[in-house]
Amino acid sequence: MIKLSALILAFGWLALIAIYATGNLVWDNRLLWAAPMSFGCAATMASVTTVEDSDARALSFLVAIVGFASLLVFAVGCFFLFGLVGKG
């Protein structure tokens, strides 16, 4: 479960990088939901994972923190991206 949530988190970052790399608003509209949904899904999956091992619990907590921090980065990045695009 931890590996799956980490893979989903990585997919979210790849989607976010693709949004900024292309700069195409058609791509932005299609990928805009992929990154935050992936970040939220990874964070939720990691935070609700119940494991007995304390190391695995720490890893799931770390994935949850990185997932929610990624949501903040995504939100701020989109604000500046669309703010700059809107002023074009």
Q: How many domains does the chain have?
A: 1
Please list, in sequence order, all residues whose beta carbon lies within 8 angstroms of the beta carbon of residue 58, skipping any fewer than 6 positions away. Answer: none
In 3D, which of 27, 61, 28, 30 has the Cα closest to residue 46?
61
Enclosing domain of residue 53? 2-87
Global pTM?
0.54
Does residue 51 have a pLDDT over 60? yes
Tokens standing for residue 21:
């790399």
**pLDDT confidence of residue 88:** 45
Phi-psi region of 23 (alpha: psi -120 to 50; beta: other; left: phi over 0): left
List the one residue out of 5, 21, 15 whose CA is nearest residue 68. Answer: 5
Q: Model confidence over 52-73: pLDDT tens digits?
A: 677 777 777 787 787 778 777 7
Average pLDDT of the residues of the chain = 70
Share of the chain above pLDDT 90, in %: 0
Per-residue pLDDT tens digits for 10-29 = 887 787 777 777 766 555 56
